[in-house]
Every structure is written in structure tokens, then in C-alpha cells.
Amino acid sequence: MPTETRHFQAYRGETPPRFVNEAELEYAKILDYYGVPWLYEPHTFVLERDGDGRVVEAFTPDFYLPEQDLYLEVTVMKQSLVTRKNRKLRRLRALYPEVRVKLFYERDFERIAARYGLRKAS
């Protein structure tokens, strides 16, 4: 897992981000390069609670772009393995219709990587 905590110009968080995977790091570099203000995992949305009110399921999008009021979720999993993530996104949209979120798939990253000469995250 990457632990790069370089200084980002457009990052608006309090503490340096610690990315879970290389794809998140690469997207952060793109946002930063273009000067797009962003936060890393700033909010967790509760999707389900049990009978005692404990959180059973939640979703934390990878990035938040405050100027666009938009959350971004990055996945480089194979299309056949993103069913669970898509289900969570549908649930989030049903419970929080005011929240704007965009899921970037592996194919989206491949297009961006090819365009900007980035390495492909695995």
C-alpha cells in the first residue's frame, strides 16, 4: 500500500492524506496538477443501522471536490468485481439524493493514464 504523503497544493485537509492504493494517489496528483481543491475521505455516509442503532454498513467516498460539491470514488477493480460498490452507490443515492457522487472505474483511469502519460495502477 502506498504511504506517500507528499505536499499537495490543492489539498484542503488538515492532515496529509494516506491513500489506500496507487489509483487514489494518481487521481490526487491529477486533481493537484490542475489546481482542483480536494479533500480525501472527509465524510462517511451511513447506509444501514441495526436495531440498536449501530452502523452496519457505510460508504466513504475517496475524494470530495468542494467547489463542485462532488464526491469521487475510485476503483480499479475488474468490472465483474464492482457489483458491491455499485450497490452501495445506489443505496447512497436513495438515502442521500442531494449528494452528488461519481464512480471512476478502471477503464476511466486507463483513459486518463493514457492521455496524461501516467502509470496504470493495479
Is residue 9 in some structural domain? Answer: no
pLDDT band at 122; cut points 50, 70, 90: very low
Closest listed residue to residue 40, CA positions, set 86, 76, 4? 4
Cell of 96: 442521500
* pLDDT tens by residue, 8-27: 889 998 888 999 888 888 88
- Helix 106-116 to helix 22-33 angle, to the nearest 10 degrees? 50
CATH classification at residue 105: 3.40.960.10
Q: Hey, what's the cell of 97?
A: 439524493
Number of domains in the chain: 1
Query: pLDDT tens for residues 47-91?
Result: 999 999 999 999 999 999 999 999 999 887 766 667 888 899 999
Domain membership flag for residue 10: no
